[in-house]
A and B are shown apart, each in its own frame.
Chain A
Amino acid sequence: MVLTNYLLFFFPMKKTKQNKINPKKLVINPSLRFILLSIFIISILVFISSLNFIQQFLTAFTALSLHSILNALGISVRLVEPIVLQLVHGSQMKFSIIPDCTGIYPAVVLCGFIFAFPANSRKKTLGIFGAIAASFVMNYLRLVSLIALAQVSVRTFEIAHLIIWQSSFIILVIAYFLWWLRWK
């Protein structure tokens, strides 16, 4: 109805029998609305997160915080460049932190889904904060476990990096979104 009113406001028409607008025909299917709105919101958020200074900040922050976490856990690493970590012992492998390693993208996807889904603003706000926290916690778990694995075996690291953790992000997004939908 609201959409029809807007359309009639901007494009006034003579209401004759032939061109009378049927309000039911103008209402967008809720699923289609969710799909289009989430794609639109995610596109904007990805655009913002693709800006150079944001990516530089996120990667540098992730590398620095990861360096502190790993050393606190007894896994010796050194920061050889602002975004490159190297294992001190074992394989002495180097890890370059790229934007995908910052955990920003699962958070972006969840924020897009939560924004696009019809719910009250309190539920949406809490959902978004929870999504960001869950995404970053999961990401640090991923990075710490991967680097701990790389210290033991490079081959195991590659398998875990490619299969296990990529899949776990998909499971996280779907599980969190479904939990948020049922949460009151």
Chain B
Amino acid sequence: MEIIRRLSFGFLLRFIVWFLLFLALWSLVSSSYSWFKMQTLQQILSWIYPTQTPFIRNPGFLQGFAISELTLLSLIFARWNKVDLSSIKKYPWTKVLGCIAILFIINIASQLMEVISQRSSTFFLNYAVTWLLSVGVIVLPFLCWVWLESTLKPA
């Protein structure tokens, strides 16, 4: 928790800069990413509904911007300034990759649930979709980052 208490205005500024930079770079591949997500979802839907597979006509709702993954990366990159750049090698990058993979799986799962909830709407399904898509996009990367920071050994 100490890392959170020590965060400064500089950290916030670096976070915003990294975040905007990542978003700008991601916009180059966002349509391909959206298409990839649509194909993945379509494949999973064909396993769930082998006879009457729903067809995703409008991939716009898939939102090609990997917002939660980019938020996590921006938070990670914002911790380094010119002074402590050397500690970049000691960061648990394997865990970072694991977190990004988890965030991607959660994103796919939530969008799958969104499609299913349009067929059979239940309170639990709507609740889960709301949690994951409206709240989780902010909460999950931040908590992943807090966990990553907590695994670091104090200098």
Contact = CB atoms under 8 A, between A and B. Distances in A.
A175 B71 contact: no
Contacts of A118: 1
A32 B67 CA distance: 24
B118 to A, nearest CB: 14
A50 B5 contact: no
Contacts of B11: 178
A34 B1 contact: yes
A31 B146 contact: yes
Chain B interface extent, by class: 20 to 34
Nearest to A172: B138
B81 interface: no
B7 interface: yes
Interface string A159-184: 00011001101110111001001100
Interface of A is mostly: helix
Given A31-B149, A174-B15, A175-B12, A47 B134 contact: no
Contacts, number: 84
A50 B138 contact: no
A166 B135 CA distance: 11
A29 B147 CA distance: 10
B130 A99 contact: yes
Contact of B1 (A31, A163, A175): A31
Chain A interface extent, by class: 35 or more
- List 4 A-B pairs, minimum CB-CB distance, nearest first: A31-B150, A30-B1, A105-B134, A35-B143
Interface of B: 1, 4-5, 7-8, 11-12, 15-16, 19-20, 23, 27, 63, 65, 67, 71, 75, 123, 126-127, 130-131, 134-135, 137-139, 142-143, 146-147, 149-150
Given A29-B150, A35-B143, A99-B130, 15 more contacts: A32-B147, A42-B131, A42-B135, A105-B138, A106-B138, A113-B142, A163-B65, A169-B138, A171-B15, A171-B16, A171-B19, A175-B12, A178-B4, A178-B7, A182-B7
